Amino acid sequence: MTFRLSLVFLAGLLFCTGPAHAFELTSPSIPSGGTFPSAQTYHGFGCTGSNLSPALVWSGVPRGTRSLALTLYDPDAPTGSGWWHWVVVDLPASTRKLPAGAGEPGSGALPAGAVQIRNDFGASAYGGPCPPRGGRPHRYVFTIYALKTAHLNLPPGAGPAMAGYFIHANALASARLVVRYGR
């Protein structure tokens, strides 16, 4: 009898709490599975884009999130280890979007306390796609991470690999947006 009451109670809890909202990342600037427009591509290394970070929006941030981190990574770069285009840590947990251009240093578009980590172009900023000419289009993976810590406390000059280590060690959940680009 006690077991049956427990099952009824658990079933009631499941129906009363309603469906969980999925952690989701989207962009009004670029559709998922779409192609980067020239506004978001890199300016340099033979590329002539505007290097403007896209607007990003996320929802369904899980309970217990104390901060967020955002990365943009190209797993197809011919380096043996991919290419980090953008890393932002210590975004306040209440943040739900970034406007276009937030990755420009000094723009004031990142929330207070957010920190941009040096990317593989060598800048603490957004660096758009610029794959080698003639190859197949690369995948560019935006990932927003919900973290269980308010600050990652990275040392000055930390690179994307170190940031990635601390992000993954503190991740509660993540959501991705994949965009392609080739030239």
Per-residue pLDDT tens digits for 3-22: 443 433 434 434 444 445 79
Predicted confidence (pLDDT) at residue 52 exceeds the cutoff of 50: yes
Six-digit token string for 56 = 């990003």
Residue 181 is inside which H or E element, if any?
Answer: strand 171-181
The phi, psi pair for 123, rounded to 5°, reads: -120, 150
Q: How far, in Å, CA of 57 to CA of 97, rounded?
A: 4
Q: How many CB atoms lie within 10 A of CB 21?
A: 10
Closest-CA residue to 173 (of 30, 36, 24)? 24
Q: How far, in Å, CA of 42 to CA of 177, rounded?
A: 19
**Predicted confidence (pLDDT) per residue in 85-143, tens digit:** 999 999 999 999 999 999 999 999 999 999 999 999 999 999 999 999 998 999 999 99
In words, the CATH class of domain 21-181 is alpha beta
Six-digit token string for 111 = 């929330």
157: helix, strand or coil = coil
Six-digit token string for 43 = 């300016």
Six-digit token string for 166 = 């601390």
Calculate what percentage of the chain has a pLDDT beyond 70: 89
The one-letter code for the residue type at 10 is L
Per-residue confidence (pLDDT) for residue 168, from 0 to 100: 98
pTM of the predicted model as reported, rounded to 2 decimal places: 0.88
Per-residue confidence (pLDDT) for residue 12, from 0 to 100: 42
**pLDDT-based confidence at 165, cuts 50/70/90?**
very high
Per-residue confidence (pLDDT) for residue 13, from 0 to 100: 38
Question: 93-109 as b/e, with b when 16 or more CB fall inside 10 Å?
Answer: eebeebebbbbbeeeee
